[in-house]
C-alpha cells in the first residue's frame, strides 16, 4: 500500500546519551523538534545512525515513544499528512525481529525500518523470505533496510516485485554507495504500486533523486537538514544548477565527517554537542566517542 508521508527528507537521527551513558530523552525530543522545524517529512530513530543494534529493546521503545509524542505535540496528532515516525527494528533472529517490530508498533511508530540479522550474509532469496515473514506478522507497515556494506547481504532489483506484493511492505531504504544499483531499484519500483525507494547515501543524493527515489533517510541531515530539504526541492523543480551546488556542500561536509577518523555516529554527536544541541557526545559501547584531541577536527568539519 502507498504510505502518505514516505517522501522528502526523514533524517536518521543520532541517539543522544547523558553523562551516565543512558539515553537522553530530553535531548532526543529536542532533535526531533529541530528536524521538524527544518522541514523534515518525518524522523527515523534507532536506525544504524542511531546505534539501534547496540541499544536494548526498551531503549528503542523509549526513543520511539518520545518521537511519537513530539510529532503529535507539534502537529496535533491527527493530520493526514503528519510527519512519519520510523523506528529501526533489529534482532539476531527472526523471532527477535518479530518481537522488536511489535514493541515499536505499540510505542507508536508509523513504520518499522527492518534490518535482517547480519551474522550470516543472506542471498537475495533469503532476504525476500525474511522480509515477507516479518511483514506477515507486523502490526505496522515495514520498510526494507538494505545496507550491504554492513550486513554483507545484497538485494537485486529483480526481487522487488516479490517484496512489493506484500501489502505491508511499503518500500526500501537503500544505503549502499552503489548509485547504478540504486537507479535500477528506482526503475524497478516505478512499475510497482505502493512500493517506494528511499536513499540513505547523502553524498549521492542528487543522483538518487534524479533517478526516481522518492525520499532520503540520511545521517548527514543531522547537520545539514535544511540543505537536504532544499536539494529535494531543487531537484523536483528541475533546477540542476542549484541542486548541484547543494549536493557539493553536503558531500563536502560528509567527507569532512569521514576525515575525523572516528565513527560517523561519534562525529555527528560531537558536532551536535559543539553546536549546543545535545548535552554529551558519548556513544553506545563498543563504539568509542570522539576523543578531546580530535574535537578541533570536528569544528573544522562543521565549517565544510
Catalytic residue among 145, 185, 195, 282: 145
Q: How far is CA 102 from CA 66, 139, 162, in A?
A: 17, 7, 23
pLDDT recorded at residue 24: 98
Can you tell me the distance from the alpha carbon of 82 to that of 214, in angstroms, rounded to the nearest whole number? 17
Q: Could you confirm whether 145 is annotated as catalytic?
A: yes
**High-pLDDT (> 90) share of the chain, %:** 94
Q: Which grid coordinates are listed for 108? A: 507508536
Can you tell me the distance from the alpha carbon of 63 to that of 56, in angstroms, rounded to the nearest whole number? 11
| Rounded (5°) CA angle 199-215-229 | 110
**Domain ranges across the chain:** 8-241
Mean pLDDT for all residues in the chain: 96
pLDDT tens sequence across 109-132: 999 999 999 999 999 999 999 999
Q: Could you confirm whether 120 is annotated as catalytic?
A: no
Q: Give pTM, 2 decimals.
A: 0.96
pLDDT over threshold 50, residue 4? yes
pLDDT recorded at residue 304: 84
Residue reference for cell 505496522: 140
The distance in angstroms from the start CA to the end CA of the chain is 40
pLDDT recorded at residue 80: 46
pLDDT tens sequence across 179-206: 999 999 999 999 999 999 999 999 999 9
pLDDT tens sequence across 278-302: 999 999 999 999 999 999 999 999 9
Residue reference for cell 499528512: 81
CATH 3.20.20.70 applies to domain 8-241: yes
pLDDT tens sequence across 8-48: 999 999 999 999 999 999 999 999 999 999 999 999 999 99
Can you tell me the distance from the alpha carbon of 108 to that of 19, in angstroms, rounded to the nearest whole number? 27
Reported as type and span, the H/E element at residue 189 is helix 179-189
pLDDT recorded at residue 153: 96
pLDDT tens sequence across 37-86: 999 999 999 999 999 999 999 999 999 999 999 999 987 645 547 899 99
Catalytic residue among 65, 168, 173, 281: 173
pLDDT recorded at residue 1: 57
pLDDT over threshold 80, residue 170? yes
3-state secondary structure of 251: helix
> What is the average pLDDT across 141-158?
96
**How many other CB atoms are there within 10 angstroms of residue 214's CB atom?**
18
Amino acid at each position: 500500500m502507498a504510505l502518505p508521508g514516505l517522501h522528502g527528507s526523514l533524517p536518521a537521527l543520532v541517539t543522544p546519551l547523558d553523562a551516565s551513558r543512558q539515553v537522553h530523552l530530553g535531548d532526543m525530543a529536542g532533535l526531533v523538534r529541530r528536524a521538524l522545524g527544518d522541514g523534515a517529512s518525518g524522523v527515523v530513530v534507532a536506525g544504524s545512525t542511531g546505534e539501534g543494534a547496540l541499544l536494548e529493546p526498551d531503549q528503542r521503545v523509549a526513543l520511539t515513544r518520545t518521537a511519537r509524542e513530539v510529532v503529535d505535540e507539534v502537529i496535533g496528532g491527527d493530520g493526514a499528512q503528519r510527519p512519519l515516525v520510523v523506528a529501526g527494528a533489529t534482532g539476531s533472529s527472526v523471532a527477535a525481529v518479530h518481537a522488536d517490530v511489535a514493541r515499536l508498533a505499540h510505542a507508536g511508530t508509523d513504520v518499522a525500518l527492518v534490518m535482517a540479522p547480519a551474522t550470516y550474509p543472506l542471498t537475495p532469496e533469503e532476504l525476500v523470505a525474511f522480509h515477507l515473514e516479518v511483514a506477515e506478522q507486523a502490526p505496522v507497515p515495514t520498510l526494507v533496510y538494505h545496507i550491504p556494506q554492513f550486513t554483507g547481504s545484497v538485494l537485486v532489483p529483480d526481487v522487488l516485485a516479490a517484496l512489493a506484493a506484500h501489502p505491508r511492505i511499503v518500500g526500501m531504504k537503500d544505503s549502499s554507495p552503489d548509485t547504478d544499483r540504486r537507479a535500477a531499484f528506482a526503475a524497478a519500483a516505478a512499475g510497482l504500486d505502493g512500493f517506494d525507494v528511499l536513499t540513505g547515501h547523502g553524498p549521492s543524493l542528487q543522483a538518487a533523486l534524479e533517478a526516481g527515489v522518492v525520499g532520503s533517510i540520511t545521517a548527514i541531515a543531522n547537520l545539514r537538514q535544511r540543505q537536504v530539504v532544499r536539494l529535494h526541492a531543487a531537484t523536483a523543480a528541475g533546477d540542476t544548477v542549484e541542486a548541484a551546488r547543494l549536493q557539493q556542500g553536503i558531500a563536502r561536509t560528509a567527507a569532512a565527517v569521514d576525515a575525523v577518523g572516528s565513527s560517523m555516529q561519534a562525529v555527528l554527536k560531537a558536532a551536535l554537542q559543539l553546536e549546543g544541541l545535545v548535552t554529551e557526545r558519548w556513544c553506545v559501547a563498543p563504539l568509542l566517542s570522539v576523543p578531546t584531541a580530535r574535537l578541533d577536527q570536528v569544528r573544522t568539519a562543521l565549517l565544510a
